[in-house]
Structure 1
Amino acid sequence: MYRICKEFHFSASHQLAHLPEHHQCARLHGHNYVVAVELAAPELDANGFVRDYHDLAALKSYIDTRFDHRHLNDVLDGPSTAEALARHFFDYCAGQWPETVAVRVSETPRSWAEYRP
């Protein structure tokens, strides 16, 4: 199986108000998010690609217009957790590129959530 991955970056705020008041994520805060989309195929296309990285520009545009410098509680239906974002971006990507196998979302350089069906 051949695999490729591409990262996209954005900054946004969110608040997990359902958590106890003393939990740091219950307060309004922000992250510099990294979204990594992974695509896979058993064979390469005629150009020798799983998918041309340039094709993934649509995800950058989607992130830039809908998520960058936004308050995620106003953008998402449901929780604004990294896990929920990973699923949201997976669903978007799978609808665009059937080779999509996983999406990873990092809130910090040392933590990430992944959705992989």
Structure 2
Amino acid sequence: MIIYKHFSFDAAHYLPNVAEGHKCRQMHGHTYHLTVYLEGQIQPHEGWVLDFTNVKDAVKPLVEQLDHALLNNIEGLENPTAELLAVWIWDRVKPVLPGLKKVELKETPTSGVIYEGY
């Protein structure tokens, strides 16, 4: 079974590696929508895969670190594309939530990435 938990945060960034004149080279912000998906078996006694509170407790510190931050100033996010931000999140969530299946990160309502830990 796959369960998920949704989070959101607001952050600014700029993409230093895009061409001069590209609009994303300028600092701008997004309301990011993050969904983490976990896979596991239903625990017979509890009746759930994992307590959603455990998921929240594992991801919330990262969300708090990212919220209202300039992403470029966070170690490991000097070029904070949606793709690299999803990998950054995965690398920090996977050790504390071993059942992590995928991370979905939406930068806008119509654009985002899904990372499955390749």
* TM-score > 0.5, shorter chain as reference: yes
Aligned-pair CA distance for 1:72: 0.2
The DSSP-based 3-state class of the residue aligned with 1:8 is: strand
**1:74 Cα deviation from its structure 2 partner:** 0.1
Question: CA-to-partner distance for each residue in 1:54-79, whole Å, 9 max, x for gaps?
Answer: 11222123311x11000000014242
Q: CA deviation at 1:93?
A: 1.6
What value does the CA root-mean-square deviation take over the aligned residues? 1.2
Q: Is there any run of 5+ residues in structure 1 with no aligned partner, and where?
A: none
Three-state SS of the structure 1 residue aligned to 2:4 is strand
Q: What is the match of residue 96 of structure 1? A: 96
Cα separation, 2, equivalents of 1:111 and 1:50: 29
Which whole-Å CA distance do the structure 2 matches of 1:89 and 1:62 have between them? 8
Name which of structure 1's ranges 96-105 and 53-62 shifts more when overlaid on structure 2: 53-62
Runs of 4+ in 1 over 6 A off after TM superposition: none
Q: Report % sequence identity.
A: 32
Normalised TM-score (structure 2) = 0.90
Question: Which structure 2 residue ranges, 5 or more long, are not aligned?
Answer: none
Q: Could you tell me the TM-score, scaled by structure 1's length?
A: 0.91
By how many angstroms is 1:52 displaced? 0.9
